[in-house]
Structure 1
């Protein structure tokens, strides 16, 4: 036993003496010129080791190295590609005999990396990794060796009966302190910096869980950012897979206009092919918008890393800002989703979106491309656009406008000339390929109430195509198609609208705030033009509007009453006043309006009723909204007129009525000049008929002056 102890002491003594001799006789710093020479030979770059190199023998073999710099070629903004203040590395010797590589703590302090691309496109990474000429010459040696070992005489037999034991590896830890990096691209005009990076990894070995932590701060252009995180990491023993658990990340970012105050992400566990539970939150401000978003989801990435699956995605975002339709809004989203990495395609199913009281359900997809491709199919039970935008009824709006005018200049909501000539920004139509359908059970917009709304819309190559907008409204139906082409200097548009069986009066009351017209209406609209600014639409729109109304009334004017007034005027009398509603009933009203050069005109206005026939022509100026129409009204039947007054005696009379004023305040008045002219023509015609009758009745006596005077007196009594 004593011999064994003495032998062990001898071995220890030899090792100690050997280490002492190594420390005394071999200075590792004497190898610095050799190391620098080899680096220069293989990379063409200089390696400057200004710090000391020191041995380490306990508890493992290793070395420490002081300040070291790896130079850049001339012409770059910083002298060094890589530099560090100090580094440490060690390896345990005894485990090597068991084919286990046990690395001690790896430490790097004050490390800095600088990468630059010049305006010419040259980078300080160019040339690295290329073998030197000497190295290329050396490559011929293995070929000779390979040829040599083909001889059976020189190759010893390998015993494969005993499989070799695989190597294992472990790492005591990694520590990176105060590291930094700069990536500068002069060609693109960008610069990003990691000002501080700290990273630690606890003891690490395949098949064992390790803890990793980091914190980083830096900037990208004017955007400054910070981030820190912690997770547990497991590398499989076969080194073919990895797992994470208890992942927690936080970050922030800020520049002159954006302030992302906090971003957080937590994940319970992650491994390919398995489901993970994820929570996230985002809070901050961008120009005119503050947001506070949080959400949860289940995440799965397949082992081939080709598909990302998301289940039970739930996101809630509280928004505040001037860019919103409301000062404050809450948006909620729930959906399942998949993302195909090979196709760059995200699809959404079971999607439920809620923006305050507006709710939509459906599905959709998004394909990432130079022009993103979006598809959707959405539905909603009810959408009240007016309530959502905070716009009241048309009556309230009109009253508000009137109060504004009364309150003084600028108090109303009238658009300025600049606003009326401002074209909408349609540049977004050129940046997306979009197509989809929307169905709404009940829709209210601009105070109009629609049901069973179906919309089919597409946007591609700068053209918006409203393929379908069908809806039921006011006991009738509407069908609309439209296109907007944004590829010219002024956008071109065309609209085709077909309205059938609509109750006109309730529609006008809701939309325009007036009840001037009632009846069941059919309207066909075909318009096109250049420019979508309000002023240009009025000036440039061209096309036709056909109207065909039945069983209705025109409110604000009582034509039979005006006929009685006309009759009294012809007699030089005052019409008897009867309290009657100011309306004119009709059984049919038809007209075709031709639109062009800022004017809408018609020459075939026709209004029919059992009592009256009304024909009209004229125009309205779409820019000034002035009205200039002439309406001719005739009594065509013998009956009691509106209000119970007999109009038999004017059955042959046509009453001309002038419609003047503007859209807001039309005025109706008798055209006295035409009426008197018509009266004179009737009187002359009647006088000729009387003379012809007297000749037949009295013969030559009809020329008697007394008889002529009597006939004259009778005619004047009829027309006065």
Structure 2
């Protein structure tokens, strides 16, 4: 036992003498010039060690390094690329004998990193390691000039030389980064990121063992200030080829002059490549005109080759408020499965459902990164009421309730005029279609029931594509008001002004309820068939009106034109020709028809027709004329004839008016059309009636004047009166 104690005392004495000799004979500060020289040689930069280099012996042998600066070249805003006030590193000696590298606590205090890119594009990172690379290249060239041995013995030596390293184990007592900071500055773009404070800690760390890590950071990115903190546990595989995380938590905040992110949080139960991980996340804050509070959860898996990231059971719910929304408050929900293929740059959203208040959508979509992103989608909804969603139905009711209110004051009228002037300017502004040149989109939208601009449609199917600046509406099919609509359209944004083409076929639509819903216009009823073929240049409202060209063929059956009673006007004409008042009962102001057809031509800002035709058992109407699409003026003449002997509308007999042609002028504008009887044209087209009118005048004069009616002067006066009437 005494021998063992002597041996132990001897070893302690040797260690003490060794440490004393090390302290007395070896001053680590004498290595400063050598260290600086090697750094200069390998990086081309100066290393300045202002502080002392001291030995450290407890709890293990190591070094402490005082204030140190790694310099920038001249011409940069700060002198140092890297600076720190103190660093510590130690290594346990005895475990080295057993091929164990036990590194003590590594500590770095008050470290600062400054990275700058000047306006000329030069960075303070440029050139680092260039000298080392040159030296390495020279060494490789020298090695290539040496004769290569190809003996079997030399090839067998390499494995035996590498084998000792395979038995080493490595551990780290801990890492501390205290009060670190960094600045990343780009003078070319004006971007500036300033990490004002960063602290990182890692407990004992060894392959195959769990270690705790934590960090906190605060800084600025431009005007955005941010703070974040987090912690986790990590495990590096003994073979150093994999890692695991568990109990990951992250919390962050950010704010600038207009944005305030109150909180962002993320938790992960565990993460290992090839396994599913459960994530929960939340975000709350405000951006201009919008406040949000979102929460969600999902499962995430990363494939072993790091090529495929999969998301399963994604669930997101958010409450949003603000003036930027169609409504003051809205609820948004999303569920989906998703994946991202790194090699293909392909993100796929499969089996998704989303709910925005009462609007629900489901379907699938994909996004592939490329110079022009490729987007594909297939979306379905049971019901979309766009008017209710956007609040247009309430706005329409509010506008109607204000009708008939007092006229605005002079100031109000002036404001209205200003607004109207601004609106007129806006009507000549082309929409920005530049996005059409940056997208490759194709997809399908199906909606069971849809309402927009108060028009109600069902069984809507839309297929569209956007590619190379061209929007192609390949298909729009829907059922509406007892009929159907089929349409196709293209918009080409590649020219100086966009061009468009539209074809549309409407069959069997009940016209009156459609017009009442869409335009509050109830003056036309019937079953409508419409074929539209139009094209033009420019999408601003004024250019559409000026440049639109093509045809609109209409064919209405079994309907009525409200606002005018043609039979009533015929009786009025007949009574006028007799010099009497019409004797009839007041009837509803409408004209029934069995067919209404016309081909309308559009061009040079004018819509015209020369074959307006209306047929009914009583009447035949032919019309022609035009309307100016810019000024909205109307100028039509409608020729109406009684072709059958029958009871007219309201049961009033007009048999004696058979074969009478009555011209009716339609003038005014779109909002206030005016119908009037054209007496001049009436008498020109009815010579027989003119003669009858002359006889009626003569008879009337005889009753009134007796024999004096035969006087030549009286006849002259009567003729002049008739000529004035007929002309």
Q: Normalising by structure 1, report the TM-score.
A: 0.90
2:98 and 2:470 mapped to 1: Cα distance?
Answer: 72
Equivalent of 1:600, from 604, 607, 613? Answer: 607
Report the CA distance between 1:177 and its aligned residue: 0.5
Equivalent of 2:464, from 442, 457, 460? Answer: 457
Q: Deviations over 1:335-356 (max 9, x none)?
A: 1011101111111111101111
The residue number in structure 2 matching 1:670 is 677
Report the CA distance between 1:139 and its aligned residue: 6.6
- Would you say 1:430 and 2:437 are equivalent positions? yes
Q: Is the 8 A contact 1:103 1:172 kept in 2?
A: yes
Q: Which stretch of structure 1 is more off in the superposition, 422-431 or 432-441?
A: 422-431
Describe the shift of the 1:134–1:329 C-alpha distance in structure 2 as closer, same or farther (beyond 3 A): closer
Report the CA distance between 1:432 and its aligned residue: 1.9
2:57 and 2:427 mapped to 1: Cα distance?
Answer: 85
Report the CA distance between 1:184 and its aligned residue: 2.5
Q: Is the 8 A contact 1:393 1:446 kept in 2?
A: no
Residues 340-359 of structure 1 correspond to what in structure 2 (within 5 A)?
A: 340-359=341-360
Equivalent of 1:526, from 517, 520, 533? Answer: 533
Q: Is the 8 A contact 2:333 2:355 kept in 1?
A: yes
Q: Deviations over 1:694-713 (max 9, x none)?
A: xxxxxxxxxxxxxxx9xxxx
Q: Deviations over 1:315-358 (max 9, x none)?
A: 11222223222222222111101110111111111110111111
1:519 and 1:158 mapped to 2: Cα distance?
Answer: 95
SS of the counterpart of 2:573? helix
1:448 and 1:144 mapped to 2: Cα distance?
Answer: 85
The residue number in structure 1 matching 2:260 is 259
RMSD over aligned Cα, in angstroms? Answer: 3.0
Describe the shift of the 1:142–1:493 C-alpha distance in structure 2 as closer, same or farther (beyond 3 A): closer
Q: Is the 8 A contact 1:99 1:165 kept in 2?
A: no
Describe the shift of the 1:326–1:535 C-alpha distance in structure 2 as closer, same or farther (beyond 3 A): farther
The residue number in structure 2 matching 1:190 is 191
The residue number in structure 1 matching 2:127 is 127
1:557 and 1:687 mapped to 2: Cα distance?
Answer: 30
Report the CA distance between 1:453 and its aligned residue: 0.5
- Would you say 1:516 and 2:517 are equivalent positions? no
Q: Which stretch of structure 1 is more off in the superposition, 27-36 or 87-96?
A: 27-36
SS of the counterpart of 1:217? strand
Describe the shift of the 1:513–1:147 C-alpha distance in structure 2 as closer, same or farther (beyond 3 A): closer
The residue number in structure 1 matching 2:376 is 375
Describe the shift of the 1:368–1:290 C-alpha distance in structure 2 as closer, same or farther (beyond 3 A): farther
The residue number in structure 2 matching 1:706 is none
1:141 and 1:628 mapped to 2: Cα distance?
Answer: 98
Describe the shift of the 1:430–1:138 C-alpha distance in structure 2 as closer, same or farther (beyond 3 A): closer
Unaligned runs of 5+ in 1: 689-708, 710-715
2:160 and 2:199 mapped to 1: Cα distance?
Answer: 49
Q: How many residues align?
A: 690
2:89 and 2:672 mapped to 1: Cα distance?
Answer: 93
Residues 308-347 of structure 1 correspond to what in structure 2 (within 5 A)?
A: 308-347=309-348
Equivalent of 1:505, from 495, 498, 512? Answer: 512
1:163 and 1:419 mapped to 2: Cα distance?
Answer: 80
SS of the counterpart of 1:125? coil
Q: Is the 8 A contact 1:214 1:230 kept in 2?
A: yes
Report the CA distance between 1:114 and its aligned residue: 2.0
Equivalent of 1:584, from 591, 606, 611? Answer: 591
Q: Is the 8 A contact 1:201 1:213 kept in 2?
A: yes
Describe the shift of the 1:677–1:397 C-alpha distance in structure 2 as closer, same or farther (beyond 3 A): farther
Report the CA distance between 1:683 and its aligned residue: 4.5
Report the CA distance between 1:150 and its aligned residue: 6.9
2:632 and 2:62 mapped to 1: Cα distance?
Answer: 93
Describe the shift of the 1:562–1:258 C-alpha distance in structure 2 as closer, same or farther (beyond 3 A): same
Q: Which stretch of structure 1 is more off in the superposition, 405-414 or 266-275?
A: 405-414
SS of the counterpart of 2:326? coil
Q: Is the 8 A contact 1:42 1:135 kept in 2?
A: no
Report the CA distance between 1:614 and its aligned residue: 0.6
SS of the counterpart of 2:309? strand
Q: Which stretch of structure 1 is more off in the superposition, 539-548 or 321-330?
A: 321-330
The residue number in structure 2 matching 1:73 is 73
Q: Deviations over 1:568-623 (max 9, x none)?
A: 10000000130321111111111111112222111111101111111111111222
Report the CA distance between 1:516 and its aligned residue: 0.4
The residue number in structure 2 matching 1:484 is 491
Unaligned runs of 5+ in 2: 696-714, 716-721
1:134 and 1:538 mapped to 2: Cα distance?
Answer: 75
The residue number in structure 1 matching 2:473 is 466
The residue number in structure 2 matching 1:701 is none
Describe the shift of the 1:139–1:542 C-alpha distance in structure 2 as closer, same or farther (beyond 3 A): closer
Report the CA distance between 1:142 and its aligned residue: 7.4
Describe the shift of the 1:498–1:104 C-alpha distance in structure 2 as closer, same or farther (beyond 3 A): same
The residue number in structure 1 matching 2:701 is none
The residue number in structure 2 matching 1:294 is 295
1:149 and 1:680 mapped to 2: Cα distance?
Answer: 125
Which stretches of structure 1, 4 residues or longer, exceed 6 Å deviation after superposition?
133-153, 155-160, 162-165, 411-415, 685-688
The residue number in structure 2 matching 1:273 is 274
Q: Is the 8 A contact 1:442 1:452 kept in 2?
A: yes
1:457 and 1:315 mapped to 2: Cα distance?
Answer: 28
Describe the shift of the 1:210–1:420 C-alpha distance in structure 2 as closer, same or farther (beyond 3 A): same
Q: Is the 8 A contact 2:578 2:693 kept in 1?
A: no
SS of the counterpart of 2:496? coil
Residues 566-645 of structure 1 correspond to what in structure 2 (within 5 A)?
A: 566-645=573-652
Q: Is the 8 A contact 1:502 1:520 kept in 2?
A: yes
Q: Which stretch of structure 1 is more off in the superposition, 122-131 or 489-498?
A: 122-131
Residues 142-221 of structure 1 correspond to what in structure 2 (within 5 A)?
A: 166-221=167-222
- Would you say 1:237 and 2:244 are equivalent positions? no
1:375 and 1:565 mapped to 2: Cα distance?
Answer: 65
SS of the counterpart of 1:402? coil
1:145 and 1:601 mapped to 2: Cα distance?
Answer: 95
1:264 and 1:669 mapped to 2: Cα distance?
Answer: 74
The residue number in structure 1 matching 2:707 is none
Q: Is the 8 A contact 2:524 2:562 kept in 1?
A: yes
Q: Is the 8 A contact 1:502 1:521 kept in 2?
A: yes
2:248 and 2:194 mapped to 1: Cα distance?
Answer: 25
SS of the counterpart of 2:503? strand
2:502 and 2:674 mapped to 1: Cα distance?
Answer: 31
Describe the shift of the 1:148–1:614 C-alpha distance in structure 2 as closer, same or farther (beyond 3 A): closer
Q: Is the 8 A contact 1:393 1:447 kept in 2?
A: no
Q: Is the 8 A contact 1:447 1:510 kept in 2?
A: yes
Q: Is the 8 A contact 2:577 2:689 kept in 1?
A: no
Q: Is the 8 A contact 2:44 2:129 kept in 1?
A: no
The residue number in structure 2 matching 1:536 is 543
2:193 and 2:508 mapped to 1: Cα distance?
Answer: 65
Q: Is the 8 A contact 1:348 1:363 kept in 2?
A: yes
2:398 and 2:610 mapped to 1: Cα distance?
Answer: 34
Describe the shift of the 1:140–1:675 C-alpha distance in structure 2 as closer, same or farther (beyond 3 A): closer
Q: Is the 8 A contact 1:281 1:294 kept in 2?
A: yes
